[in-house]
Structure 1
Amino acid sequence: MKTLTLTCLAFLMTLTASPVSAASSASIEDFDSIQLYTLANDHGMTVKVTNYGAIITSIVVPDRDGKGADVVLGYNSVEGYINAVDKPYFGAVVGRYGNRIAKGKFTLDGETYSLAINNGENSLHGGIIGFDKVVWTVKSADNRSIKLNYLAKDMEEGYPGNLDVTVTYTVTDENQLVIDYHATTDKATPVNLTQHTYFNLQGEGEGSILDHELKLNASQFTPVDQGLIPTGETPSVTGTPFDFTTAKAIGRDIGDDHEQLTFGGGFDHNWVLDKDGKSGERTLAAEVFDPVSGRTLTVSTTEPGIQFYCGNFLDGRLKGKSGKTYGHRSGFCLETQHFPDSPNQPNFPSTILRPGETYQTQTVFAFSTK
């Protein structure tokens, strides 16, 4: 049986000039408890997780020849995650609200709330000190699974309610990473949690992902304005570069003359998943295949949407754990989620969690080869 690796992070950091401020729930003393955990099965898959930001720092899976490689972008130290240019959210759980909320405002039960602004005039991924920048409590851990908890305080980053969040990562014998999200609140509040890992199925630092072939189980998407806020429409993808209903190379249509590609700098949009089961059931969301390594990633989820982002803002300034730089479009994200700006979009599925209710979603990243 594999043994659980707990490494008190020398993986870690000096606390000098740390950007974590008094506004964060993470005090300086909290950093003494940062650790790195290794989950593994007997089939060549290992996943490393730190309780700083609930970040997935590494996923090693075999290629078609059985050779393992780390297929996620990231760093060997917490300093890397904290000091990364433009804060790419490598590997983190983002919240309390993943994606954008327009102008950092929403109205709930007659009261208007103002959130921390950190993306132009909007609020992105929970604000300045989101869930990606705090120290989570490890509730349990073994060689296959880790359960992490964080209590977001009432009005933290402007959100109402004490939100008690648990995220569990589990590695299975089928080379799956199962992610379970659970949350409760004592006041009505928006909640939209997601996982922000960047993948490159050839291996992190191995260049562009534009030849990866992507299929999305989605016949509609949510167009955005220049600030990447949804317009509220959900048009068909048919006849547009956003049609991934049949597998195609990510780079095939990315250079098309299309307003939405201009706004996003490429693909950085939410797709409306074609849900063929009951509400709350997990269904297929996406499949990605790398012809070079033979690795395949399949994503299934209980969520209604998925944000496909293809690393448009990576520009070579970031150097990853292998010592290689992360160039333009050298990683992609598949963020299962409710839709961006839902608190301001009455036609979108609700993201409001109320006292007595339970937020519970599941996403599975499954790896195989062909």
Structure 2
Amino acid sequence: MINKNHVEITIISWGATIVSLKYPDKFGRIADVVLGFDDLKSYTNPRINPFIGCVLGRCANRIKNGCIVIKGKTYQLTRNDLDKHHLHGGTKGFGQRLWDSYIDDCSVVMTYLSEDGEEGYPGALLSTVRFKLTPDNRLEIGIRATTTDFTIVNISHGSLFNLAGHDTGKKELIKHKISLNCDRWTFADYTDPIPTGSIRGVGGTIMDLRIPKFLENCIEKVPPGEGYDHNFCVTPNWHGGSTYVARAIHPESGRVLEIYSDQPGVQFYTGGRLLTDAASEIDSNIVVKQSNNLNREEDKEKTLTIDQMEQDAIAESPSFLLGKQSARYVKHCAFSIQPQNYPNAVNYSHFPCSILQPGEIYCHDLIYKFGIQLANYM
């Protein structure tokens, strides 16, 4: 999709993924501002692609221990977050599925039928995602879903942005100025990202991003120093509908991104887990278990040799993720702002309800608005 202002967006049907998003800066120089890969093989490999640019579902974010209870019945979902929690729909969530697609006037429409029991979820879920690029530089993402049984639904989109250019790394990311329209956050202990159920005010804390802040002044102050990966509570507007959620600006290029949504929360993530999620695969011929038979001296020598080879392989493993156009994606090289329901909402009665019933329609209207700021007035 391309408009008269030279905003160009490329989407593929694998995971309904945005693979490229280009638009000019204040000098007219066009750059791609989302992380991605050059080939489909990388997108389809979940060990390399940790939810980059794709739809997040059937339930975005984390569910504690992957366990949910709906109408008195317990369901065990896939545990794909450190083998402990359920994250972004599981190992084969919406971002690792092939969606049907078609063109509808000026929109691209993606649909996917998630079968009953997929990743442990009850009920079949039919989801539709409509992408529309408008003349005023808005990417409108309309998400709808219906179900055959009581289930949980929380769908968002996971594009990772760097407004200086996808390949400019942490050096440019920390120059971004970020503001969130959020006066509270769902408290989580830094040792576990799952919310405790407590909702706290952001005032006087590192979580207060109501006034724009440069990431270089706060990203390493978030305990335990890994940057932001937290859910904030969006301050609602009085008339309902879509609400202003967040604003990001890269002053040197002048590129501005504003986000609007009708969801109660937003996950703000600064890429601290990028390399952890996309762990490098070490040659399986090197990483082997120690021999069960250590009685003979030669077995001991072989084991010591294997251990040393394993240590060398780990030491030499790359500290970056190889992206499109040979870009090296490092830790804290991009940010993601994902409007959604609160994490683990199904297990807290005072969190917004995430259960969808048969006959109901799940709706999420998400808007990315791209602009240019010619001068810094702040």
TM-score normalised to structure 1 length: 0.86
What is the CA–CA distance in structure 1 between the aligned matches of 2:263 and 2:179, rounded to whole Å? 17
Query: 1:126 matched to which residue of 2?
Result: 89
Helix, strand or coil at the partner of 2:116: coil
- Asked if the contact 1:211/1:290 (under 8 Å) is kept, the reply is yes
Aligned pairs (5 A) from 1:200-279: 200-208=162-170, 209-225=173-189, 226-256=191-221, 261-262=223-224, 265-279=226-240
Query: In structure 1, which of residues 340, 361, 364 is the aligned counterpart of residue 364 of structure 2?
Result: 361
Helix, strand or coil at the partner of 1:132: helix
What is the CA–CA distance in structure 1 between the aligned matches of 2:217 and 2:364, rounded to whole Å? 32
- Asked if the contact 1:84/1:318 (under 8 Å) is kept, the reply is no
- Asked if the contact 1:64/1:294 (under 8 Å) is kept, the reply is yes
Equivalent AA in structure 1 for residue 17 of structure 2: I
Shift of 1:76: 1.4
CA deviations on 1:58-107 (whole Å, 9 max, x unpaired) are: 00011011211100000111111123645321100011000000000011
Helix, strand or coil at the partner of 2:41: helix
What is the CA–CA distance in structure 2 between the aligned matches of 1:146 and 1:320, rounded to whole Å? 25
Query: 1:100 matched to which residue of 2?
Result: 62
Query: In structure 1, which of residues 335, 338, 341 is the aligned counterpart of residue 341 of structure 2?
Result: 338
Query: 1:71 matched to which residue of 2?
Result: 33
Aligned pairs (5 A) from 1:169-208: 169-208=131-170
Equivalent AA in structure 2 for residue 251 of structure 1: E
Shift of 1:188: 0.8
Helix, strand or coil at the partner of 1:322: helix
CA deviations on 1:127-151 (whole Å, 9 max, x unpaired) are: 1110001100014355x42000000
- Asked if the contact 1:94/1:130 (under 8 Å) is kept, the reply is yes
Helix, strand or coil at the partner of 1:61: strand
CA deviations on 1:275-321 (whole Å, 9 max, x unpaired) are: 01344x00100000001110000000011111000010234421111
Query: In structure 2, which of residues 258, 269, 273 is the aligned counterpart of residue 309 of structure 1?
Result: 269
- Asked if the contact 1:277/1:283 (under 8 Å) is kept, the reply is no
- Asked if the contact 1:105/1:112 (under 8 Å) is kept, the reply is yes
Aligned pairs (5 A) from 1:151-162: 151-162=113-124
Helix, strand or coil at the partner of 1:138: strand
Query: 2:250 matched to which residue of 1?
Result: 290
TM-score normalised to structure 2 length: 0.84
Equivalent AA in structure 2 for residue 174 of structure 1: D
Work out whether 1:318 is the aligned partner of 2:321. Answer: yes
Helix, strand or coil at the partner of 1:347: coil
Count matched residues.
326
Misfit runs of 4+, over 4 Å: none
Query: 1:20 matched to which residue of 2?
Result: none
Equivalent AA in structure 2 for residue 325 of structure 1: R
Deviates more, 1:187-196 or 1:217-226: 217-226
Query: In structure 1, which of residues 125, 132, 148 is the aligned counterpart of residue 110 of structure 2?
Result: 148
* Structure possessing the higher relative contact order (Cα contacts under 8 Å, 6 or more residues apart): 2
Query: 1:300 matched to which residue of 2?
Result: 260
Equivalent AA in structure 1 for residue 192 of structure 2: G
Query: 2:309 matched to which residue of 1?
Result: none
Shift of 1:164: 0.5
Helix, strand or coil at the partner of 2:103: strand
Equivalent AA in structure 1 for residue 209 of structure 2: F
What is the CA–CA distance in structure 2 between the aligned matches of 1:312 and 1:187, rounded to whole Å? 37
Query: 1:328 matched to which residue of 2?
Result: 331
Equivalent AA in structure 1 for residue 110 of structure 2: L
- Asked if the contact 1:140/1:148 (under 8 Å) is kept, the reply is no
Q: Identity over the aligned pairs, expressed in percent? A: 36
- Asked if the contact 2:220/2:226 (under 8 Å) is kept, the reply is no
Equivalent AA in structure 1 for residue 15 of structure 2: G
Q: CA RMSD in A?
A: 1.3
Q: 1:214 to 1:276 in 2, by over 3 A?
A: same
What is the CA–CA distance in structure 1 between the aligned matches of 2:175 and 2:253, rounded to whole Å? 11
Helix, strand or coil at the partner of 2:200: coil
What is the CA–CA distance in structure 2 between the aligned matches of 1:91 and 1:332, rounded to whole Å? 11
What is the CA–CA distance in structure 1 between the aligned matches of 2:80 and 2:235, rounded to whole Å? 32
Could you list the runs of 5+ residues in structure 1 that have no partner in the other structure?
1-38
Query: 2:283 matched to which residue of 1?
Result: none
What is the CA–CA distance in structure 1 between the aligned matches of 2:216 and 2:239, rounded to whole Å? 34
What is the CA–CA distance in structure 2 between the aligned matches of 1:87 and 1:265, rounded to whole Å? 20
Equivalent AA in structure 2 for residue 162 of structure 1: A
Equivalent AA in structure 2 for residue 73 of structure 1: L
Equivalent AA in structure 2 for residue 320 of structure 1: G
Deviates more, 1:334-343 or 1:226-235: 226-235
CA deviations on 1:155-213 (whole Å, 9 max, x unpaired) are: 11110111000000100001111000000011010000010000000000112211100
